Structure 1
Amino acid sequence: MGYPRKLTRRFRAFDNFAISFTIINIISGIFSSFGFGMAAGGPRVLVFGWIAVSVMVLFVGASMAEIASAYPTSGALYFSAGKLAKRHRGAWSWYTGWLNFVGQVGGTAATGYAAATFIQAFLAMQWPSYQVTEQRTVLITAAILLVQALANTYTVHLVAVMNRISVWWLLVGMVVIVVVLAVEPSHHQSASFVTHFVNDTGFTNALYGGMLGLLVTSWTFTGFDGSFHMSEETVRATVNAPRGIMRAIGYSAVTGLILMLALVYAIRDYDKEAGAAAPPVQILVDALGTSTAKVLLLIVIGAMLFCGLANMTSNTRQIFAFSRDGAMPGSRWWHSVSPRTRTPVKAVWLAAACSLVLVIPGWWSHTAFTAVVSVNVVGLFLSYAVPIFLRLRLDDFQPGPWHLGRWGKMVGRVAVTWIVISSVLFMLPHASPITATSFNYAPIALAVVLLIATVWWFASARRRFQGPVSYGRPDEVAAMDLI
């Protein structure tokens, strides 16, 4: 790919799969967004929307996997965009990289904040006198980011071990939650309950309300580009990285559907639980009692913490690669690698600091924080769409060992179409009446990011950034390898 090796290849096939599976994290995604789905479509959209969106995400993942096999680098999406573009390679690479960077940072921040919210819910259940405040949520999030940064500072081997543990935590945890919800409650909803439709979004158009409910699944299925970003640290990356992407999406789709059904059928008092501060927690309490609910809540919190750790790892590799090509302020700092641990330590702390900056508005306003981190999904999926779109325009695309053959362009067209639709949904109003507290600030936040990137591009970046840098011929690059 034109770069000297600075990172060690310690990730095996399972490790590469584990990072995307952990970032997707069905437990974290479903529990953090289930309440929104209860209002936007109810069980019908939660269950059947999960199936439909999972299929669409498989199309996106397959297209990304094909590109990952051809360009297995830490730069992932922005690198492949620069290579696949016919013209203006620097610009395509620039915008893809910044969309991916903002989406990655937003994901790390959002996961940490969600974990902090559920930690406070547990503390309030354990000690009724405990007062849940926005300030404490921010402080707990900061502590979580600190611990995750410390874990990522040490060797790639440690991160790989943590991700292996996280896979089993997710799978065993999911089985425990599902079995307890299936066996323990005295009664469940009838089989036909999955067709129950609810529209409490405030919008009179039921179709619009149901379409908004698809965001529950879209929010969950983010971050599977983590396998792509870890390519330079994965053995046989041209095969194991694309397989990691596809396995992570496929296994998450199946296990997530099982977990979704378990929660839906455990609902007792729909209106009461949908109106609770944390609807899935209230469902657990009503169905199982406080003691059992607290145990299951610990499983959920653990899953969220593992998810944040993997998010930060992926985020760090994107920063490392983007800086390696001189696309970030202080690039010399951020692409340096510790000689002792062979990890981009400075990039780790930049990822943690940027995530904390996004969390800070939550000190004063939960709405402001939600608006900023909404860019996570839009930024990530738009960065997914760009290289797929460019691959569709390229007649002489050279695939890697893992490819879709003659189905490549058809799959890519479906993937780009779905990304456009889901991105529009994320930027439309999510509740009515539209007020300062219910307004969806995501399009404004995204516009600000794109405006800054555009001004920066035309002011100076276009003269010095021409896309991915090549350090020389393969033999010259091999002679530069630092490990």
Structure 2
Amino acid sequence: MLASRIPVTGYAYQWTSRLANPVLGWIIGWVSFSFLAIVVVAVDYTIAGTVLPVLLNYEGTTLNAALITGVVVLCQAALVSQSTRWTERVNNAAVSAELIGMVTLTALLFIVAAIRGQADGDNLFSKGALPDADFWSFGDWNTAGPWMLGFLLGSFTIVGFESAANLAEQTNDPERVVPRAMWQAVLASGVLGFLFLLAVTLAAGDPVALAQSGTPVADVIEKVLGSVVSTLLLIMVVLAIFACGMVIMLTGTRLTWAMARDERFPGWKVLNKVSPRTHTPFNATVFYTVLALAILAVFTSVSSNALFTLFSAASLLPAIIYASTVVLFIVKRKSLPASDKFNLGRWEIPVVVVAVVWLVFELSLFRDSSFKETWLYVLAMMVVGGIYLVALLATRGRAALAMPEMTSIDAEFDREANVS
């Protein structure tokens, strides 16, 4: 609903700044930036830490996973910084491969496991190696039960659909296209992801033994489908994850550029530039890449379980963003600009109610003590952002946060290119 009414690069930052106030909008923008900076690392670490060790048959370690992740980040940055058109082409090809691969993989797992008698319905109700005590418990003030924590899988996998809103200014008819792209992405990932997890669980074999593996999903695929088929499908998975990280990087650089364009991001005089050669925010891309590599280095050096911490932070931060956006929509829904291109109609209230219930439940799970390092990252990023915000207000006053008129990113690119 907000995407159809305020189709401007910067999504939640723009929505909150224009409908609530610029100070709150800046805070949400910084939270969004903090999320996008870490989620690209989390996604790319998946390639290096869980898929490639099985695909190339080597032992995965923290060091080689970090090095490979860094190389993947640099490759994505090269594409994003040099050509938006080629980034789009690579993404479209990878998404097509992902859809074909996931549908094929899911169908084959169901069929082959059933034919070979490898599908075990008891796995759907198994607790694995976890104790029966408190399995279903909601927990206490600093713990959450295993079944409850399982919901966080959806918090990470069904995320990032707002990236479409962050590219609104580079989309034809964004008021219609962007909101439809968002709900279609959620529906497709939700349905297909659920079926895939169902197939993997049925074919998992002994869940206790499988839990000892660092690459359990890949192991199930190889066991059921054999090495040749699993290799081909794992290659598709690598391409899909690469494209996912690339889009996240594209989104992060556009958000950085949008805040710098509004003169409210550290180093905005440098980061708001557009390359006259590539017509991309090259400086913002370089900055975002360097920060992502720094986050990778810190997390892999200080965290005993880097992948868990990265994924946790990449789940907590969007939950904060989504909760803020939903609350803002509830408060401002009757005063939003009119739109005749996208409307939920009678489904608006039910969708909002479900969203509120889910987000309250999701955020409550992060009280578990296992997320201590996750909260430390959030706290560190908020301190950095807070220092800059106070300095900005002290030196330039609240007038520095006044929102400029909504202009197209293409016009800005052309202006910058001509000036340069």
Q: Which residue of 2 aligns with 1:454?
A: 386
Contact 1:118 1:301 in 2 (8 A): no
Q: Which residue of 2 aligns with 1:200?
A: 130
Q: Which residue of 2 aligns with 1:159?
A: 87
Provide TM-score, normalisation by structure 2.
0.86
Q: Which residue of 2 aligns with 1:71?
A: 6
Which stretches in structure 2 are left out of the alignment for 5+ residues? 138-144
Displacement of 1:72: 0.3
More deviation in 162-171 or 196-205?
Answer: 196-205
- Going from structure 1 to structure 2, the CA distance change for 1:138 and 1:461 (only over 3 Å counts) comes to farther
Contact 2:156 2:311 in 1 (8 A): no
Pair 1:415 & 2:358 matched: no
Displacement of 1:313: 0.9
Q: Aligned Cα RMSD in Å?
A: 2.8
Matches within 5 A, 1:185-264: 185=113, 186-191=116-121, 193-198=123-128, 200=130, 204-207=134-137, 208-264=145-201
CA–CA distance in structure 1, aligned partners of residues 176 and 272 of structure 2: 26
| Counterpart AA for 1:110 | A
Q: Which residue of 1 aligns with 2:218?
A: 281
CA–CA distance in structure 1, aligned partners of residues 384 and 412 of structure 2: 38
Displacement of 1:168: 1.0
Displacement of 1:133: 2.4
The DSSP-based 3-state class of the residue aligned with 1:390 is: helix
The DSSP-based 3-state class of the residue aligned with 2:280 is: coil
Q: In the comparison of the two structures, how many residue pairs are matched? A: 401
Displacement of 1:141: 0.8
CA–CA distance in structure 2, aligned partners of residues 290 and 69 of structure 1: 46
Pair 1:104 & 2:36 matched: yes
Displacement of 1:377: 1.8
CA–CA distance in structure 2, aligned partners of residues 460 and 160 of structure 1: 36
Q: Which residue of 1 aligns with 2:65?
A: 137
Q: Which residue of 2 aligns with 1:173?
A: 101
Provide TM-score, normalisation by structure 1.
0.76
Displacement of 1:122: 2.9
Q: Which residue of 1 aligns with 2:142?
A: none
| Counterpart AA for 1:80 | W
- Going from structure 1 to structure 2, the CA distance change for 1:293 and 1:385 (only over 3 Å counts) comes to same
Pair 1:376 & 2:310 matched: no
CA–CA distance in structure 1, aligned partners of residues 411 and 55 of structure 2: 54
- Going from structure 1 to structure 2, the CA distance change for 1:471 and 1:176 (only over 3 Å counts) comes to closer
| 2:47 alignment partner, one of 92, 107, 115 | 115
CA–CA distance in structure 2, aligned partners of residues 410 and 95 of structure 1: 28
- Going from structure 1 to structure 2, the CA distance change for 1:481 and 1:406 (only over 3 Å counts) comes to farther
Displacement of 1:385: 2.2
Q: Which residue of 2 aligns with 1:310?
A: 247
More deviation in 394-403 or 404-413?
Answer: 404-413
| Counterpart AA for 2:130 | D
- Going from structure 1 to structure 2, the CA distance change for 1:324 and 1:190 (only over 3 Å counts) comes to same
Displacement of 1:450: 2.4
| 2:336 alignment partner, one of 378, 385, 397 | 397
| 2:277 alignment partner, one of 312, 316, 340 | 340
Which stretches in structure 1 are left out of the alignment for 5+ residues? 1-65, 431-438
CA–CA distance in structure 2, aligned partners of residues 404 and 235 of structure 1: 21
Contact 1:225 1:245 in 2 (8 A): yes
Displacement of 1:77: 0.7
Structure with higher RCO (Cα < 8 A, 6+ apart): 1
Contact 2:53 2:59 in 1 (8 A): no
Contact 1:188 1:268 in 2 (8 A): yes
| 1:148 alignment partner, one of 66, 70, 76 | 76
Contact 2:128 2:208 in 1 (8 A): no
